[in-house]
Amino acid sequence: MQAARNIFSYASQSAPPAPFLPTNAAEMAALGWDACDIVIVTGDAYVDHPSFGMAIVGRCLEAQGFRVGIIAQPRWQQPDDFRVLGRPRLFFGITAGNMDSMVNRYTADRRIRSDDAYTPGGVGGYRPDRSVIVYAQRAREAFGDVPIVIGGIEASLRRIAHFDYWSEKVRRSILFDAKADLLVYGNGERQVVEIAHRLDAGQRLADITDIRGTAFMRRAVPPDWTEIDSTNIDEPGPLNPPVDPYATAATGALGHRVVRFARHVRNSDRGRTVIRLPAYRDVLEDPVLYAHASRILHLESNPGNARSLVQRHGDVDVWLNPPPIPLTTQEMDALYELPYQRRPHPSHGQAKIPAYEMIRFSIAIQRGCFGGCTFCSITEHEGRIIQSRSEKSVLREIEKVRDSVPGFTGVISDLGGPTANMYRLACKSRSIESACRRPSCVFPGICPNLNTDHAPLIRLYRKARELPGIKKVLIASGVRYDLAIESPDYVKELAQHHTGGYLKIAPEAIADGPLSMMMKPGVGTYYKFRELFDRYSKEAGKEQYLIPYFIAAHPGTSDEDMLNLALWLKEQGYRADQVQAFLPSPMATATAMYYSGRNPLRRITRDSARVRVPKGLKIRRLHKAFLRYHDAENWPALREALRRMGRADLIGNARHQLVPAYQPAGTGAGAEGRRRPGRSLPFRTQHTGLPDAPGRNRSLRGRKR
């Protein structure tokens, strides 16, 4: 993988850091500023903490010597709030916040949520639907000539034509609807720093077309590029197959080389090769081509070998440069040790911000995930290369939390990231890693080239809990248990010192059908982990329990699968207080399954096997009802389903039966109408892809009887 310039090797900060990045003219004046270089607009409350995107990007730019302002949760109906900091000298940076605005505002049943974890007081309604589009439009109305750069999870996952669950159709790239000049995808520090310095040097944003991790619009492929035409269901072939002397080639309108169905582009030419995806109009009208485009996108996701992608939208191309080069440990350390206040901006007063309360005493130790779960957006956004901080940097941050964060009682609530236990795990060979095109390092089994040594993480845990003033270090991030069982010492450390009674893990399903569509390990792996966890908990004299997470209505799931899961839950003695339904987030592989009924994990053809997709409110609610088989509100629907499935033998009061034949007064039919409008049964939110997105995973609490 090619090296990249250190993001802190540019101009250093020329003035003391601001106590908080300014949010109004008075705060700018107090800093002696007459203007901002960059204004970041965000849908979240402003919390100056490295778990919040606007803070980490803002402080990173500040460290470069730029004057950065924050407009947090602006009133979007008019452009007035977008003028409070004046005209930015370089650009507006637009983000919806740590969560996708549609996932933030709507449940999996498309009901409006009454709360928002990223708003003071947890109040809902402080951000618009499709926030990036609305904010970009208001910023353009406020200052029409200021360049607009969009980024964050919402823009990142909508960088090409994508299926939109909330409108049940394929939408074009968000670049068009936002009328933005440039889109930054993935973790954006490397891209944003480069953009800022180039604009500061006098470059026009329209001329900045070579930065990795960015997307933009252009009329056509440049003359000196080779275009691989993959607009049909024949996908690009192996990396270095033999040259096909009969392959046909053509010349594009501007003189660039167009290779049709060819499989002979050499590695040395990859830097000037672009793959043409099926056009927006084609994937809108043909779900099979949508699945094909999704497969190509995920195959071209390794920064070590990914090629540029292009997709036609009308008479303009959306061009995606390859993913950004992951941050080094040195860069990660410097980034997370910038002068954050680690608390909300004073303008929020004493109002509690739930997302901040959740991560106030937590520490991010890594980024990225090589699990590749098809329903999760982490890999699409952060990539599969694990980016880890040094042990010394993490320990210094723990000491800072201990010494400076109000209310600290000696308990670190989490050392983690997208997962708890991928810290410093990587491919044993850099050359193999750079050439690999597998979507997961752990499915269908753990790759033999993957280093699974948990010793550095165990050492970090031990040193963290030995720090003076630290009473307990808990692990709240989800544990990848198929990796954990490769290191029994890690499971012992976790169970005996870092679990507070309950530990969350995510089997997600127990049947082979949905598990294969999720790219998750079989239930046997869960049993192995549970055996180790229970043994080590007992050795320590602790009564501790696992909290398993499951997904309802995931592609590949049948009614019988959910019934068997419900019976398994009852046999295991679990009663889920909260459940989650599959939410098709933009660009996820499982979303392509949901829309197309095909499996992009395999080559797509017109004859590809169909994937069972539970669609429609009735079946989705039924699958959730199976997860809450013990709730009397669900018994009428379950009895009806069991009779339809020929399993009326499971209706009754015997221990082996699932639901009783009687119905308690005041429950069941009609109860749905008695719930308050705008609220739904709680469920854990779909992963949205940011390690710095506290609150995105609402606990699916389970208790053993």
Amino acid found at 487: S
Are residues 239 and 435 in contact, defined by beta-carbon separation less than 8 angstroms? Answer: yes
Per-residue pLDDT at 695? 34
Domains along the chain? 25-320 (3.40.50.280), 355-628+681-704 (3.80.30.20)
CA dihedral 59, 65, 66, 72 (to 10 degrees): 20
Per-residue pLDDT at 260? 58
Give residues with Cβ within 8 angstroms of 562, minimum separation 6.
Answer: 552, 622, 623, 626, 627
Question: Using CA atoms, how far apart are residues 231 and 289, in angstroms rounded to an integer?
Answer: 8
DSSP 8-class letter at 112: B
Handedness of CA 45, 47, 49, 54 (dihedral sign): positive
Per-residue pLDDT at 378? 87
Residue with tokens 């082979």: 512
Our measurement of the distance from residue 401's CA atom to the centroid of its chain's CA atoms, rounded to an integer in Å, reads 26
User: Residue 208 is encoded by which pair of tokens?
Assistant: 């900045």
Amino acid found at 221: V
Per-residue pLDDT at 255? 60
Helix (H), strand (E) counts: the chain: 24, 27
Segments of the chain with pLDDT less than 70: 1, 234-257, 260-268, 669-705
User: Residue 535 is encoded by which pair of tokens?
Assistant: 């043994």
| Alpha carbon distances (Å) from 494 to 166, 257, 477, 484, 525 | 40, 56, 12, 10, 17
Amino acid found at 96: A
Question: If you write DSSP's letter for every residue of 424-493 in order, what string do you get?
Answer: T--BS-HHHHHH---S-SSSSS--TTB----HHHHHHHHHHHHSTT--EE---SPP-HHHHTT-HHHHHH
User: Residue 407 is encoded by which pair of tokens?
Assistant: 């209310």
Exposure letters 450-488 (e unless 16+ CB within 10 A, then b): bebebeebbebbebbbeeeebeebbbbbbbbbbbbbbbe
Question: Using CA atoms, how far apart are residues 365 and 415, in angstroms rounded to an integer?
Answer: 6
| Alpha carbon distances (Å) from 649 to 222, 640, 661, 699 | 67, 12, 11, 33
Read off the pLDDT of residues 32-71 as tens digits, 9 standing for 90 and up.
999 999 999 999 999 999 999 999 999 999 999 999 999 9
Per-residue pLDDT at 244? 43
Give residues with Cβ within 8 angstroms of 98, minimum separation 6.
Answer: 44, 51, 52, 53, 118, 152, 153, 355, 688, 690, 692, 693, 694, 695, 696
Question: If you write DSSP's letter for every residue of 301-346 in order, what string do you get?
Answer: --TTT--EEEEEETTEEEEEPPPPPPPPHHHHHHHHTS----EE-G
Read off the pLDDT of residues 366-389 as tens digits, 9 standing for 90 and up.
999 999 999 998 888 899 999 999
Are residues 225 and 257 in contact, defined by beta-carbon separation less than 8 angstroms? Answer: yes
State whether residue 99 is helix, strand or coil. coil
